[in-house]
Structure formats: structure tokens, C-alpha cells
Amino acid sequence: MGEQTQVQTLTEAQAQPPPPPQPQSLPNSDSTVDVSPNPSNPSKIPIRPQKIRKLSSTPTSNGKPPQTTAVPSPSTATTVAITSTTAKSRRKSTPKSSRIFPQIIKPLSADGEIDNAIRHLRSVDPLLVSLIDTLPPPQFELHHSAFLALSKSILYQQLAYKAGTSIYTRFVSLCGGEDAVCPDIVLALSAQQLKQVGISGRKASYLYDLANKFRSGILSDETLVKMDDRSLFTMLSMVKGIGSWSVHMFMIFSLHRPDVLPVSDLGVRKGVQMLHGLEELPRPAQMEQLCDKWKPYRSAGAWYMWRLVEGKGTPTTTAAPIEGDNVHTLQQIQTQQEAQQHQLQLLEPINGIENLGACIWSQ
């Protein structure tokens, strides 16, 4: 009897549904979270919901309200992204010319710049005073297109002045005059036509490369004028047959840049040797050191060196450094001249002006 009562009580206890779970309180919170199982799916293990922490405005122990971190809404995040994209677009839309071509100082052909150059050279180098007093001021007034000036420098390379002038004259006539010399005209000429006026195959390839870079827009008269000296040197050195000497001559006599020192020009080196009474021609590093005081008017100083050599009657080599092969040292130039002396009159002195740099670029 007692055993039947105990079994009945156990059966009734099992038949009764379990009591619903009580809501659990989260620590440090004034709210509760219902974690009861999902009644629609009692056979599955209930998924534990994420804890929700209520932000409390209750002061902390130090008396200051707790700091909260604001989470930007989707609209705010979109605004930030648009602003960032707009700023990047503005940076990308900045004209290239303002970044590539920094402002340069005035050319020597500008009003008053020759006077400024003479005044500066007279004050910083006493050795130049008597030379300045006995010579007329430098002149940088002639203007040729950049393409014509660079073509001219290529044609005169490795030639005596008279030979270079003869070939240049025939070349200009073939093109239809100096005003007609342009990239399209040069590219329309065949290598055979250029050969007939005395231009070698190598120099013809130099002219074609120069013309192609002008026609493609890599180089132009406008961009060359705007470039600073460093960028100009880099861009022109990309042209076949154009080396440091040609770039320096172009900068001085075509663009009238005030602070160019042609350290590979034999006439300028000879002038510095004579000015300082040196036993040997100064090397480029020594040239930079001796002429540093001329800055920022080293172009005018170089002009006076050409005049100094001319006035002394000392013949100098009329051949420019061999730009295509990047040969610039005096010993290498003389070795090359001796090997080709039976074909070219490389050591023929120039009547009047005795340095090629002061001749072909000033006409």
C-alpha cells in the first residue's frame, strides 16, 4: 500500500510540467534578459542570446560620468567615405604642371638680369673684374625653337665648326628653311636623303628619336621652358645622342638659364685654367669647386671663360664631347679625335670664337 502511494506520487511529479525559468539578472546592470527556451521548437537546444549592456548615467566612483564611445550611423559613415573620396579626387585633379614644373628664376634675357649677373660676379670673384671691365656685357637674345636648337647640337657633334656649319646649312635647306624644321618634316626624310647632305646613319637615328619624342608629346617647346633645371636635364638625357654637354648648351643659349656650368666644355675648362693659373685642365669636380662662388649666375661666368680663351688666342678643340657614347673626359675625347683625324678635321681652330659651345648655340 505504501509502495503504491510512492509510485503514484512519482508518476504525478513526472507528469507535471517543469516550472518556467526565472529571468536572470546581468551583473552591473539594471535590466534583465529573458533566456527561456523557444516554445516553438522545444526539442532543440536554445541559442544563447547576446548580452545587452545598458548604458548607465550613474556617476562612477570618481564622480565623473562614464565615457561612452559613439558608434557612427550608416549615414555618418557614408558621409565620411564620400568626404575622403572627394579629398582624394581633389588631390588627383591637381594639375600636373604645378607639381612637375616648379617655378624657376628669371632667364638671363629678362630685363636687368645681365646687370645683376655682372654685379654679382664682380663682387664675388676679383679675378673676373678686369675681364668684365674690358669686355662688353653678355648677350642672350637669339631665340630658336627647342627642336631646331637640339637638332643643331646633334649635327655639330664630333665635327669641326666649318664642317658642322656646312652640314647644318644643307640640312636646313633640305627641310625648307629654319622655320620649317619640325618633327614631322624630319620624320618624313629618309636616311638616304639625310646621308646625301652629310648626316651619318647614327646621327640620323638621333634626329629620328628626337623627332619621335617631340611628336608623341614626351617633349615640347612649352614643357621644356617650364621645367626646372634638374627635370630638364633628366628628360633631355633620354634622347639618343643628347648628353650633358648638349643639355648645358641648350640651357644657356636657348633657354638662357642663369646658373649652368658646362663642366665638360673644353673652352670653359680652358678658361678656368687660365683664370686661376692652373698647370692642367680642371676636372669636373674641381670646376664645381672653383666656380661655386659664381652661383646663381654661373652661365654668365662660363660666357666670360669663352671670351677669355678667345682673347688669349689659344686654340681649343672645336669638337663637342661625344654625347651618344657618354664620353666626356678630355683623354677619351682626344683618343677618339686621333682615331678619326683622317676623316674629320676635329682640331681645326675657329676663327674669332674658338669654342664650339659659344658658336653653334649663339647663331
Q: Which CATH number covers residue 324? A: 1.10.340.30
Of the listed ranges 92-96, 181-185, 316-320, the one predicted with least confidence: 316-320
Return the pLDDT at 72.
53
Q: 334 lies in a domain?
A: yes
Q: In the chain, what is the straight-line distance between the N-terminal and C-terminal CA atoms, in Å?
A: 139
- Which SS3 state, helix, strand or coil, does residue 219 take? coil
* Confidence grade of residue 363 (pLDDT, cut at 50, 70, 90): low
Q: 89 lies in a domain?
A: no
Return the pLDDT at 311.
85
Give the E-state strand segments of the chain in sequence order.
24-25, 32-33
| Global confidence as pTM | 0.61
Q: Which of 34-43, 77-86, 216-225 has the highest mean pLDDT?
A: 216-225
**Distances in whole angstroms, Cα of residue 122 to Cα of each of 49, 132, 133, 138, 167:** 89, 8, 9, 14, 40
Q: Residues of the chain with pLDDT > 90: what percent? A: 51
For residue 247, give its domain range. Answer: 113-130+143-360
Instruction: Name the residue with higher pLDDT: 204 or 26.
Output: 204
Q: 53 lies in a domain?
A: no
Q: Residues of the chain with pLDDT > 70: what percent? A: 57
Return the pLDDT at 157.
87
Looking at every residue in the chain, the average pLDDT score rounds to 74
Q: 196 lies in a domain?
A: yes
CA distance 354 to 308: 10
Express each pLDDT in 119-162 by its tens digit: 999 999 999 999 999 999 998 876 779 999 999 999 998 888 89
Q: 301 lies in a domain?
A: yes
* Confidence grade of residue 53 (pLDDT, cut at 50, 70, 90): low
Asked if residue 97 has pLDDT above 70, the reply is: no
**Domains held by the chain: number:** 1
Q: 307 lies in a domain?
A: yes
Q: 40 lies in a domain?
A: no
- Which SS3 state, helix, strand or coil, does residue 354 take? coil
Q: 71 lies in a domain?
A: no
Return the pLDDT at 158.
84
Return the pLDDT at 30.
47
Of the listed ranges 211-225, 251-265, 317-331, the one predicted with least confidence: 317-331
CA distance 42 to 47: 12
Instruction: Name the residue with higher pLDDT: 290 or 24.
Output: 290
Express each pLDDT in 222-263 by its tens digit: 999 999 999 999 999 999 999 998 999 999 999 999 999 999
Of 69, 45, 66, give the one whose Cα is nearest residue 56. Answer: 66
Asked if residue 281 has pLDDT above 90, the reply is: yes
Asked if residue 329 has pLDDT above 90, the reply is: no
Length of the chain: 363
CA distance 162 to 263: 24
